Amino acid sequence: MRHLLSVMNTTLRRINVQLIHCKAIVLNETEYWAANIVRRAGGAIFRTYLVDVQKRARLCEMRPSYSLHPLYTTPLVDDEDGSLAAELATREDYDVIYMHCANVDRLPAGAVYDFGEQEIPPTETRESMFRLFEHQARGNVVIEVPEGMAPQPSGKSKIPVHSTPAPLVPENFTAQAEVAIEI
């Protein structure tokens, strides 16, 4: 009987366990940068975002969206000192943007770093755990440029067609740019 109660308590504790599942994703944001900076960057500029894939937002639409929290911006190519990356960092904003879940879920594997599901300790909240992942991903760069996007020997780079939606700001709402992936 004692063993049965122990198993039941363990099962009940497991039921109450909260999980968080974060991913870092990289999107091509070249179109949002000035032509002279894009040339210096080797033709492409990428932005890495952190996403909690278990948390979805509904923004007056039928399809749910993920909240994308910006981490850092990366040029396709940079000098040894990383001066262009440092310059890009000074121009970054940290506004959360939203993208349809289906578009994020269909990103190529090389553009996604999956942290996997993690248990949220009883002393933490989902938000505090997310901030911990965010801090970890900023301090220990996990993904900067999608796999296969390095410059080709000819000096040209193979640049994927992914773009981010414009931030949703009520006073000057703009239409979201869709990721160019067949649905």
pLDDT digits (tens, 9 = 90+) for 115-174: 999 999 999 999 999 999 899 888 888 777 777 665 544 444 444 433 333 333 233 333
Question: What pTM did the predictor assign?
Answer: 0.72
Residue 88 counted as domain residue:
yes
Domain assignment of residue 181, yes or no: no
Alpha-carbon distance of 50 to 133, in angstroms, equals 8
Q: Is residue 139 part of a domain?
A: yes
Instruction: Report the C-alpha gap between 172 and 95 in whole angstroms.
Output: 15
Angstrom distance (rounded) from CA 60 to CA 47: 26
175 located within any domain: no
Q: Is residue 107 in a domain?
A: yes
